[in-house]
Amino acid sequence: MAKKTSARAAAKASLTGKRVGLYPGTFDPPTLGHLDIVKRALKLVDHLVIGVGVGTGKNPLFSFEERVAMWQHEAGVLTKDGGTIEVQPFGNALQVDFARSVGASIVVRGLRAMTDFEYEFQIVGMNQRLAPDIETVFLMADPRYLSIASKLVKEVAMLGGNVSPFLTPHVADLLVKRCKELAKKRK
Ligand code: ADP
């Protein structure tokens, strides 16, 4: 634990003077919508921490380690235009405390529809009171990706539909594989 804390402190020190953002989420799995938000966020910050939620309450299809590995696989393409990305576990902590612990002054969230707005509206209001030094920034993905939701993509995959319009080829392969494993188990 002490090792982890000192590694985090060292990483934080190396970011002095840089604008750091946090993009938290469950990412079960990361979709083209999530990737588009990361690309846009990298225009605003020098360093983006992708906080992958352990998400046990959401009963994720992919383990936390698998979701982290998916982001690490995509990181190279995402950072080719500049900026750096780091993927970090985001467990049992308040979002604003986690943001502070990674040196982030901005929390990035994606907005799709009014339903997202209502949910985010309350969280931001509370976070503003808890941490006035941290700003939440909402970004909209390219309209092509606005209707994509991890939950629906999983449903399409479970029913044997084509998920390639919604995911990178790597993540699509992993999702199809996972669904086949589950279908076999259920037989
Ligand atoms: P949560 O944080 O609720 O577990 P997700 O992991 O699905 O949600 O998403 C993380 C963030 O990315 C949220 O801010 C969500 O609104 C945003 N997001 C998800 N899908 C899209 C999309 N297709 N376009 C834009 N933003 C998105």
- Domain assignment present for residue 155? The answer is no
Atom from ligand 1 closest to the CA of residue 147: 23
pLDDT at 2 over 90: no
**What pLDDT sits at residue 176?**
97
**CA 187 – ligand 1 centroid, Å:** 33
Question: 115 or 173, which is more confident?
Answer: 173
Q: 88 in ligand 1 pocket by Cβ < 6 Å?
A: no
**What pLDDT sits at residue 13?**
57
170 an active-site residue? Answer: no
**What pLDDT sits at residue 1?**
46
**What pLDDT sits at residue 115?**
79
Q: Grade residue 149 by pLDDT with cuts at 50, 70 and 90.
A: very high
43 an active-site residue? Answer: no
Q: 136 in ligand 1 pocket by Cβ < 6 Å?
A: no
147 an active-site residue? Answer: no
| Number of folded domains that form the chain | 1
pLDDT at 6 over 80: no
119-131: average pLDDT: 93
Q: What is the DSSP string of 85-123?
A: EEEEEE-SS-HHHHHHHTT-SEEEEEE-SHHHHHHHHHH
Decide: helix, strand or coil at residue 76: helix
What CATH number corresponds to the domain at position 41?
3.40.50.620
- Domain assignment present for residue 70? The answer is yes
94-120: average pLDDT: 92
- Domain assignment present for residue 170? The answer is no
Structural domain boundaries, residue 98: 18-143
pLDDT digits (tens, 9 = 90+) for 10-67: 566 567 789 999 999 999 999 999 999 999 999 999 999 999 998 767 789 999 999 9
CB 145, CB 172: distance < 8 Å: no
- pTM, entire model: 0.91
**What pLDDT sits at residue 81?**
74
**What pLDDT sits at residue 56?**
66
- Domain assignment present for residue 98? The answer is yes
Q: 26 in ligand 1 pocket by Cβ < 6 Å?
A: yes
Element at 24 (helix H, strand E)? strand 20-25
Q: For residue 106, which of 27, 18, 28 has the smallest C-alpha distance?
A: 18
Which of 58, 80, 177, 180 is an active site residue? Answer: 58
- Domain assignment present for residue 10? The answer is no
112 an active-site residue? Answer: yes
For residue 58 the two structure tokens come to 């959401």
- Domain assignment present for residue 177? The answer is no
pLDDT digits (tens, 9 = 90+) for 63-103: 999 999 999 999 888 887 788 999 999 888 899 999 999 99
Q: 90 in ligand 1 pocket by Cβ < 6 Å?
A: no
Report d(CA 47, CA 67) in Å as an integer. 20
- Domain assignment present for residue 56? The answer is yes
- Domain assignment present for residue 103? The answer is yes
